[in-house]
Amino acid sequence: MRIAIIGLGKFGSALVRELAAMDHEILAVDLREELVDRIKAAATYAVVADASSKEVIDELSLSSMDLIVVAIGKGFEASMMVTTRLRQIQGPRLFVRSISDLHHQLLEMTGVDEAIRVESLAAVNFAHRLNHLEYIRHIIIDDVHAVAEIRVPEEYIGRTLGEVALRSKHRLNLITILSRSGQEKSRRALESIPTPEHEFKRGDVLVLYGHERDLNEFTATYGDSERKK
């Protein structure tokens, strides 16, 4: 996809790097030259410009983008000016970071595709992480479903995916299996789509999707194999 990120603070810069790593074409825009210079190696295009200007919007062909993210984290007025101007163009889906409750309400009233509460989302996910320290990572999907990374239970080591029957016994879907051993921080997917013949090994990390209730029951049953040692 062709994605424009406007505002290159910590949130905007992180978005640029992550989306570029996913092979999207990224246009990074900010008024501050030093921020543009820091991110230009990661972005497809990096431009010092005022995105609240109609001339700049036309010059950068923002209407040809698939998505536009207004990631401005400081300056209520600046965010609203850019958003109001972008609402006048047709085509791209528009996502805007909200920086206060009032800002969020105003964004919803303007009809953006989504107002993003970055801090709230981070806080909710972190609260779930603290509530379940057995999880390596926990990502909320909706009110009742989540994706969680969980170390392979000791009881699974040496057994196959078909034998443990995650779906029928625990109502959980295994998305993929990551390899993580010792103190290594890097991870890699062992199998994009795990087969029933896959034999679990120490160091495997299960990426599971399911109802929060079922994820909780699974971790309550098997706990954290690393903590048991």
Q: What is the pLDDT of residue 188?
A: 58
Q: What is the pLDDT of residue 190?
A: 61
Q: In the chain, which residue ranges form alpha helices assigned H by DSSP?
A: 10-21, 33-39, 54-59, 76-86, 101-110, 118-131, 161-164, 166-170, 212-222, 225-228
Q: Which residue has the higher pLDDT, 8 or 229?
A: 8
As to burial, measured by CB atoms within 10 angstroms (0-12 exposed, 13-18 middle, 19+ buried), residue 68 is: buried
- What is the mean predicted confidence (pLDDT) over 181-206? 71
Amino acid at 85: R
pLDDT tens figures, 112-155: 988 888 877 777 666 766 666 677 887 878 778 889 889 999 99
pLDDT of 183 > 60? The answer is no
Chain CA centroid to CA 145, Å = 16
pLDDT tens figures, 1-53: 999 999 999 889 999 998 998 899 999 999 999 999 999 999 999 999 998 89
Q: What is the pLDDT of residue 69?
A: 93
Residue 145 tokens read as 């479903």
Domains and CATH numbers, the chain: 2-116 (3.40.50.720), 122-228 (3.30.70.1450)
What does the DSSP assignment read for 18-65? Answer: HHHHTT-EEEEEES-HHHHHHHTTTSSEEEE--TT-HHHHHHTTGGG-
Q: What is the pLDDT of residue 36?
A: 96
Instruction: Please tell me the total number of residues recorded for the chain in this structure.
Output: 229
pLDDT tens figures, 43-77: 999 999 998 898 999 999 999 999 999 999 887 88
Q: What is the pLDDT of residue 101?
A: 84
Give, as one character, the DSSP assignment of residue 106. H
Q: In what order do the strands lie in the sheet with 145-151?
A: 135-140, 145-151, 204-211, 173-179, 188-191
Q: What is the pLDDT of residue 139?
A: 80
Q: What is the pLDDT of residue 227?
A: 46
Lowest mean pLDDT among 20-29, 135-144, 181-190, 217-226: 181-190
Report the predicted TM-score, pTM, of the whole model to 2 decimal places. Answer: 0.62
Q: What's the CA gap between 140 and 130, in Å, rounded?
A: 14
